[in-house]
Structure 1
Amino acid sequence: MDEIITEYIYGMDLGDVQEYKGMSVFPLYGNGDDSLYITLKEALDADLLTVTEVDDSGFVPELKVINRADVPVLLLDGEELIGAKQNRVLNTTILLKQKSETVIPVSCTEQGRWSYNSRKFQESGNVALYRVRRSKSATVNASLKMNGEFNSNQREVWNEIDDMSRAARVTSSTRAMQDIYLSREEDLEKYHRSFPVRDGQNGILVMVNGEVLGFDIVSSGIAYYILHRKLLKSYALESILQEGEVEGDFNGLDKARTFLDEVCLSMGERHKSVGYGWDHRLEGPSVVGSSLTYQDQVIHMAFFNRGENKTKDMSSYNQRRSFRV
């Protein structure tokens, strides 16, 4: 793992756990620059960003983005864009260059439509479902290893959405991921109220029914405040749809620290990002994820639990962190 990423993880602080039903959230705190970039939502709301199909015919795995802002714009891995010929999600985190035109890699989240309902995309207020993000992270990693491209396995994305639709008992005319979120708006609002953003927070580590699902953290606290709701919804929907919700003490802090240990032991490759910086693709026996770095700082990091912990005899997170104090 790159030293910049390792040092960032050891420098993170875990806040006091927040709990609701079977879901537990640890606020994450890390250092970063609040003035380096603005978010997708901010850029679209200010009419500084235009997202369209690459041409009139369209091409499922790519979109065109024009950034008219004087600063970079952060597009987060998994953020959903709705409209044009079909809804899409970002395949990786991209720090768009200011005053630029960029073709970005995406995956379809609306299998049953390929016709214009608008010329431009809007943000949906969602990121991809947790299971979609997890599987997509693994398949994009594999694509980069094989051919150096940020491609997902589109069939896996559709299968995950179909599985979640069945679990949520949602019938969508276009098999749209967005309709799953819309079907649980009332429940998701309760989760949002139960996990408010803390002062200085710039990430979350989430557990459901005593098991770590993963974490997201961005360098800017301002950006995280804007992204919090959509990231939380991705994990919360998983909690809502898991049967047998259980409440209680699962030694959550120990499990969170163990998960961070596993992340620190993951291995991977570094690839030139579509925008600014470097895209790091990382995997371990039980984790899969990625990180974008730029100007010697972590811009965004996301890791997901991919299976049983197979790592033994490692120092604890606190012990390993103390080595660098």
Structure 2
Amino acid sequence: MIEIEDIELMAFQSHKNMAIIPIKTPTNYKLDILTLQKGFELGLVEVKELETSTVNTLTVKNNSVTPLLLIEGDEIIGGDQNRIVNSSILIAPESEMKVPVNCTEKGRWGYKHEFKASEHMANAHTRFARSSAKLYDMDEQAAVWSSINELESERSFASPTQAMSESYDNAKKDLNEIVNEFKVISGQTGVLVIINGEIKGFEVFFSPEIYSQYHEKILKSYLIDSGDAIEEFVVNTDYARSIISAAIDCEYIEKENVGLEECFEFKNDDGLGTLYVYEDEVVHWSYLLGDDEYKKHCKLSEGPAGTNYRV
């Protein structure tokens, strides 16, 4: 697993109100895993509504000879309405399973076209809102819809069907102008994101190949929430390392898995995250920092009992 000593924070990159610190972790992996995007491109993945369509479940068929990886926040567009995957899941080779999802298009319920991979993933605020709602036994779907409404309001944009993907499309030029300035470094497996001088979270994957496929999606998912820009700020690498160290030192609570993966959740006074493990490899590890309301709520609440799991 990962120890803080294994995490290499590389030279930061910055442009306008965004900065990133590329992360390198050991990559002695022997896993061959297909991502959702690649699966669609190769025609090896099928996503369908259930026979009787429901908002929060889809059927995913993996026709490849390797496990299929769905990343928490992956958006799939089409079908009766757009959805996001609500946890990172590994689907066994040549198998089909029901996958828990959340709707990201409240104003449409009717067939549009076959499902396909979106160019986007859930914005960071929506991911945090869904995870926080789950942690405190609140309505996850309502939290997702509310967050998308907030996104539209903050960006002064209204999608006819309240589709998250259309907020991204509307902001495409501005997002690309910034994100295109950030390059993937050789061997990079993750990233820590800073907006307007504040650390917003980090993502780590088990291989550089998988990280590179999500690089732009991840950066855009944070940037679209950025609000008013502050273009001069200090990047403190030591503080960034302390945030990661604090996440490592959390209590990791094992949760029921959906596919082949082992699933763990963790939180502290600053934020919350998830860890997904397969064959003793960290497949996906993410941590999102909360806003002041979360921090206040977290300090007033007691977390669930569980056992420590060393990352």
1:281 alignment partner in structure 2? 265
* 8 Å Cα contact 1:70-1:99 kept in structure 2: yes
2:308 alignment partner in structure 1? none
Q: How does 1:201-212 map to 2 (within 5 A)?
A: 201-212=188-199
Q: CA deviation at 1:35?
A: 4.3
Distance in 1, Cα, partners of 2:20 & 2:211: 15
1:191 to 2:203 alignment: no
* TM-score, normalised via structure 2 length: 0.90
Match of 1:15 among 10, 13, 17: 10
Q: CA deviation at 1:162?
A: 0.5
* 8 Å Cα contact 1:94-1:276 kept in structure 2: yes
Structure 1 segments unaligned to the other structure (5+ residues): 144-150, 311-325
1:158 aligned counterpart, secondary structure? helix
Distance in 2, Cα, partners of 1:279 & 1:285: 21
1:172 alignment partner in structure 2? 159
Count of residues in correspondence between the two structures:
293
1:128 to 2:128 alignment: no
* 8 Å Cα contact 1:23-1:208 kept in structure 2: yes
CA displacement, residues 140-179 of structure 1 (integer Å, 9 cap, x when unaligned): 3345xxxxxxx96111111110111011111211000001
Distance in 1, Cα, partners of 2:150 & 2:43: 36
Distance in 2, Cα, partners of 1:238 & 1:10: 31
* 8 Å Cα contact 1:111-1:176 kept in structure 2: yes
Structure 2 segments unaligned to the other structure (5+ residues): 297-311
Aligned-residue Cα RMSD (Å) equals 1.8
2:224 aligned counterpart, secondary structure? helix
2:119 aligned counterpart, secondary structure? strand
1:138 to 2:132 alignment: yes
Q: Residue type of the partner of 2:128?
A: R
Distance in 2, Cα, partners of 1:295 & 1:37: 12
Q: CA deviation at 1:225?
A: 1.1
Q: Which moved more, 1:152-161 or 1:31-40?
A: 31-40
- Structure with the larger helix share: 1
Q: CA deviation at 1:255?
A: 2.3
* TM-score, normalised via structure 1 length: 0.86
Distance in 1, Cα, partners of 2:261 & 2:131: 18
Q: CA deviation at 1:134?
A: 1.1
Q: Which moved more, 1:212-221 or 1:28-37?
A: 28-37
Q: How does 1:306-325 map to 2 (within 5 A)?
A: 306-307=290-291
Distance in 1, Cα, partners of 2:149 & 2:141: 12
1:318 alignment partner in structure 2? none
Using the aligned pairs only, state the percent identity: 30
Distance in 2, Cα, partners of 1:91 & 1:219: 19
1:248 aligned counterpart, secondary structure? coil
1:42 to 2:38 alignment: yes
1:87 to 2:82 alignment: yes
Q: CA deviation at 1:238?
A: 2.0
1:163 aligned counterpart, secondary structure? helix
2:231 alignment partner in structure 1? 246
Residues 65 and 152 (structure 1), Cα distance of their counterparts in 2 relative to 1, 3 Å cut: farther
Q: CA deviation at 1:285?
A: 1.0
1:267 aligned counterpart, secondary structure? coil
